[in-house]
Structure 1
Amino acid sequence: MSNIKQTLKFFSSLSITAYPSHEYGGCRAGELPEELSPSEAVYYMDEILAAIEKEKLPSEGDRGLMVYYYEDQALSEKIYSLHPTVEEWNGKLWGVMVVEVYGELIEAETAKLLDFAVGQMSDGWGEGFEQRPIKTNDGEIFVSFWNSEDFFIKPEQELKQGTEQNFNEQTMGGM
């Protein structure tokens, strides 16, 4: 096993629901929560990052969510850490799983890692996170790392290359 650690990022769509507050506090009767677009969600990035930080448990240490991985001992040793976060890219806010790994992951290892990460997003870490309100100047928001209609999780370069190709096709096509 290589002792050179590299960082990988896996991007996913987010689902963010806003409950607006008013001068007098609380929601108005009959007022429905609003689904925020990924570009609107960028505005709340600092509050979301602070909430993610508060969610970290001392028992997780540097390894983050990998302390809960028991399925494959060899893979658990190869993947040093797994940390959820959010990042802005292309004017939109994304869920990101930051992974520190020794050496390279083969396809089967990546599949196991992503299966575990999605489980943490939907049941483990993420289930608690999405139920806790994040206070903002505009009210409260709830952030789900997996509960969007078009959920996906993919490697950073796959996401970014795909968008660049689409962008190039759109700009080149009109010439």
Structure 2
Amino acid sequence: MCVATLSEKLELVTGTGVFISRAQLMNCHVSAGTRHKVLLRRLLAAFFDRSTLANSCGTGIRSSTNDPSRKPLDSRVLHAVKYYCQNFATSFKESEMNAIAADMCTNARRVVRKSWIPKLKLLMAESDAYAGFLPDAVKMEAEALGADPAFEAADLEGGASLETTPSSGESLQGVAGDASALFQ
């Protein structure tokens, strides 16, 4: 007689090769109750950490215009989770599931970005102490690269606002060509 343990790995959907521990699956079901959307969110969170979600474009259906380097989540895992949830609630549409996965990726990016803002402010404050040693072209490029619409530069500048424009990358080539100015 075989006794099942909580650490036992179960195949989420037979034949997919996607495994989850019995404890994780039970935890997902307990927290979701009868709400299929919550079950999908819990399962996605069980398989993908926040960093993976933040660096993903979700399902890959729509490409990310902001960052084309973002790749879709592992399709094998994503399909198994969606299939499992569809068996749990037959009325659950794939379009709803895709929207939830994309929303989770967006929320993960917000959380990751918010966790970096205090560190970014500290780094910017520290870099101000060294700003006198840098050529003006480097300062302008650093300001353009560090600009984030969600980041208020006025907090650091005592009320002054910075103009933010996207960088074309051309000014970096000019700076890199004459690095001797940095070491004089």
Q: What TM-score do the two structures reach when normalised by structure 1?
A: 0.29
Higher strand share: 1
Of Structure 1 and Structure 2, the greater helix share is in 2
- TM-score by length of structure 2 reads 0.28
Structure whose alpha-carbon radius of gyration is higher: 2
Report 1 or 2 for greater relative contact order, CA contacts < 8 Å, sequence distance ≥ 6.
1
